[in-house]
Amino acid sequence: MVVKSNDKKRARLNCMHHFLASLPYPNKNNHLVRGADPFIVGNASSVISEDRHILGKTLHPKQSVR
C-alpha cells in the first residue's frame, strides 16, 4: 500500500481509516468505519499513476531518474 503524503494530516487520517476498515475487531460498526480516500491510499499503480517515477517530485530538477 502507498500513502501519498503531500498533506501530512490527510495522509495520517486516511492511513488510520484504511487500517480500521481492513482489520477485524469486536463491535465494529461497518456503517461508521469507512475506507480511505483511494486517491491518497492504495496500490502504487492507482495512487501515483500520474507520476513518471515515485521519486520524481522529490528529486532536484537537474537530477535524472535512473
Max distance between CA atoms of the chain, in angstroms, equals 53
- The residue range of the domain holding 58 is 1-66
- 11: which DSSP letter? H
Query: Are the CB atoms for 51 and 57 separated by under 8 Å?
Result: yes
What pLDDT is recorded for position 6? 83
C-alpha cell at 4: 501519498
Alpha helix positions (H), the chain: 8-22, 44-47
What pLDDT is recorded for position 43? 84
What pLDDT is recorded for position 26? 92
Beta bridge partners, 41, equal: 3
Q: How many domains does the chain have?
A: 1
Q: 19-45: per-residue pLDDT in tens?
A: 989 999 899 888 888 888 888 888 877
Q: What is the C-alpha separation between 34 and 54, in angstroms, rounded?
A: 27
